[in-house]
Amino acid sequence: MAYVIEKQLTELLIQPWHKSRQNQLEERLPVLVVIDALDEIEGGEGSRFIEALITNINHAGPKVHGIKFLVTSRPDPDIVSTCKKLKVEAMYKLEDVEPETAITDVKKFLETELPDIKEKEPSSLEIIARQSQGVFIYASTAVRYILPKGQKVSWGQKQDRLRAIVNDSPSSNHLGPADLLIDGLYKQVLAEVIGDGRTDVTKMCRQVLDTIAIAQQPISVTTIAQFVSQDDQMSDVEAVRNAIEAFYAIAYISEKDNCVYIYHKSFLDFLLSSQRAGDQLVCNASVHHGVIAKHCLKVMNTSLKFNVCNLPSSFFLDSEISDFDTKIAGSINNSLQYCCLFWVDHLMKALLGVEVLNLWNEFGKIKAIFWIEVMNLLGAGRRSYEIMRTFKQWLSKKGIGLENLLGMITALEKLTQTFTGSPARLSTPHLYMSSLATELATSKVPNTWRDYFPHLPQVVCEGVSNQSGAKMRINTGSFVNSVAFSNDGLSIVSGLSNKTVCIWDVDTGVKVQALEGHSGSVQSVAPSYDGSRIVSGSTDKSVRIWDVNTGMNLQTLEGHTGAVMSVAFSSDGSRIVSSSADNTIRIWDTHSGGTLQT
């Protein structure tokens, strides 16, 4: 079951909180939950989170009494738009703070972090505080630059770095948005490490920095060393570590997972913008994505192999193998995991060249099947299908001359769909024993697959082919009363006798979401024309409207005195029509929830 944000908030926070409060005999002080840097959630999910939080709080009512939320964020447009649903007094905007108040706060922070400078050169801290214009990321970056964590710095070194910042007072260009204010400081830090980028050391530092900037998730020092290697020889890990530590003011290596993290997203915004970083410092993303894509394919072509975790038998489900997680950790290192999960993200953002196409062609001959195996072991089997589908669509738009490659990708797309959409995925060896064996017998596949697996079980299909007929069989676990396609054709919605409305991925058969709230069998379901909502009718006599993205019950429409047998949206989504066993048809207003006509 896909536990969406709303369900997590309800089951992991609101319900336990309400239950704990019921057992308290006396009123206690409120508890404050701080959610910092909401805008840094990837994929624009920050706006979805705050919308879910607001919706849950409104629905919970007195159940959240005694708990308060403090959410901080840069003014991301989607987040700002969502927050307009709040009362004016519930929002506090940085631009509304008196400049002197913010500068005073920053100065206190600087004095606390740099006590010796406060004592010997207090005027310098005053200058930095004013240069910050009240922006704390400027001040915190300055502190890390002057006094790196875990490093011994002499007073002379502190003075040199202090003067570099003080003398680089903001020009008129820095008096605009807060993001631009820190650009001068970032340039100062990078200039000190990279310089003109002509020596071998500074070239490595540049490569390391670009790799960190375009990585799809925080990556380990060892993985970076592989990605900045020359002539397929992995770079010295210690040299890479030293290069990362040279960027101490903007990035750090976590002791927990040995991965590299950027202190603040504003640095990535700066580095990827030629307007802000300038031609010398900007990261040429498309070029470096191509470099990383080639390294990903090389790593996979070298490291992927049949039964990589030495699973004992196809007679066992993965969940039945006692040391399953240990086998994965010991056989699939972090670098290989990253390459398997993100090669397509880099490849599709790169300039397509002959070398990378040749590497992928080699990958598709046989290693791609082992890639599906690894993806399933990592719990990302469904994603392997999505990757192949997306990659095929992207490559098909690149013009002629790629027919052979597209044929190979089509075969892989079908294999991932067959495997991840069936119970075979529960036992990874059945990628070969069941799914691949069936594909070899019934579909057009590369000859290299047949040559490599001559001893797989022989599937005999007489008068049967999987080229047509039912695309997939989805076991819902309950009697199905109603089904409908979403308008984009990517999902199926079903109404079940177990009181739930379920959304299914049309290609993999995976349950995307289960909408719970009805107290009776769901007899009818229908999506809105824009795909944002679902309406359902139930034997509990109610009509419910659901938000497809959040899974929340937006409205419950009551008025029927018998089971609701059929529902539908109007084309503009403003009305709903329902029919019932009470012998009536009702038309509802979706905004007010009222009955327009019976």
Amino acid 95: pLDDT: 66
Considering the domain boundaries, does residue 339 fall inside one? yes
Mention every residue, 6+ apart, whose C-beta is less than 8 A from residue 345: 216
Average pLDDT, the chain: 85
Query: What pLDDT is attached to residue 47?
Result: 83
Mean of the pLDDT values across residues 473-484? 90
Q: What is the pLDDT of residues 144-194, one digit of tens each?
A: 888 887 778 888 888 888 887 877 554 444 434 445 567 877 888 888 888
464 inside domain: no
* Tokens 């009123």 found at: 27
Region for residue 80 given its phi and psi (left: phi exceeds 0; alpha: psi -120 to 50; beta: otherwise) = alpha
- Same domain, yes or no: 564 and 583: yes
Domain edge (last residue) among 120, 150, 181: 181
Tell me the C-alpha distance between 535 and 525, whole Å: 6
Among 25-34, 236-245, 577-586, where is mean pLDDT lowest? 25-34
Structure tokens at 377: 């072991």
pLDDT of residue 304 exceeding 90: yes
Between residues 172 and 93, which one has the greater pLDDT? 93
CATH value at residue 526: 2.130.10.10
- Which range, of 126-140, 247-261, 302-316, averages the lowest pLDDT? 126-140
Residue 460 has pLDDT above 70, yes or no: no
Tokens of 146: 């002057």
In one letter, which amino acid is 402?
Answer: L
Q: Tell me: the pLDDT tens digits for 402-432?
A: 778 888 899 999 899 889 888 889 999 999 8
d(CA 202, CA 514): 53
Flag whether 155 is in a domain: yes
On whether residue 463 sits in a domain, the answer given is no
358 and 425 inside one domain? yes
pLDDT over threshold 80, residue 278: yes
Residue 543 lies in a domain: yes
Q: Judge if 356 and 250 occupy the same domain.
A: no
Q: Looking at the structure, tell me whether residues 84 and 106 fall in a common domain.
A: no
Helix (H) or strand (E) holding 187: helix 183-194
Structural domains of the chain, count: 5
Interval 336-351: pLDDT, tens:
999 999 999 999 999 8
pLDDT score, position 524: 96
Is residue 325 scored above 70 in pLDDT?
A: yes
pLDDT, residue 401, reads 67
When mean pLDDT is compared across 39-43, 94-98, 206-210, 464-468, the lowest value belongs to 464-468
Q: Verify that 404 and 508 share a domain, yes or no.
A: no
pLDDT of 459: 65
What percentage of the chain exceeds 70 in pLDDT? Answer: 91
**pLDDT score of 322 more than 70:** yes
Lowest mean pLDDT: which of 135-144, 364-373, 457-466, 569-578? Answer: 457-466
CB-hemisphere CA count at 13 Å for 489?
A: 0
Residues 304 and 373 in one domain: yes
pLDDT at 175: 36
The structure tokens listed for 360 are 């992928």
Residue at 461 is within a domain: no
Is residue 381 one of the residues assigned to a domain?
yes
Domain assignment of residue 113, given as a range: 99-181
Which ranges in 23-181 belong to alpha helices (H)?
45-60, 77-83, 99-113, 115-120, 122-132, 136-146, 155-167, 178-181
List the CATH number of the domain containing 246: 1.10.10
Task: Give yes or no for residue 464 having a pLDDT over 70.
Answer: no
Instruction: Give the per-residue pLDDT at 174.
Output: 41
DSSP H helical segments within 398-549, as ranges?
403-420, 430, 437-442, 447-452
d(CA 183, CA 311): 52
**pTM score:** 0.68
Tokens of 452: 């490599």
pLDDT higher than threshold 60 for residue 298: yes
Interval 368-392 mean pLDDT: 93
pLDDT for residue 181: 63
Examine the domain organization and report whether 331 and 383 are in the same domain.
Answer: yes
Last residue of a domain, one of 92, 115, 133: 92
Q: Does residue 418 sit in the same domain as residue 308?
A: yes
Query: Is position 405 within any domain?
Result: yes
- Cα-based distances in Å from 483 to 233, 259, 399, 470: 55, 45, 38, 16
Choose one of 250, 283, 316: the last residue of a domain: 283
Instruction: Indicate if the pLDDT at residue 480 is higher than 80.
Output: yes
Tens of pLDDT, residue by residue over 496-510, are 999 999 999 887 788
Tens of pLDDT, residue by residue over 186-220, are 888 888 888 766 777 888 899 999 999 999 999 99
Task: Say if residue 16 is in the same domain as residue 63.
Answer: yes
Q: Are residues 164 and 206 in the same domain?
A: no
Do 425 and 344 fall within a single domain?
yes
Distance CA 334, CA 311 (A): 20
- Within this chain, do residues 192 and 328 fall inside the same structural domain, yes or no? no
Report whether pLDDT(3) > 70: no
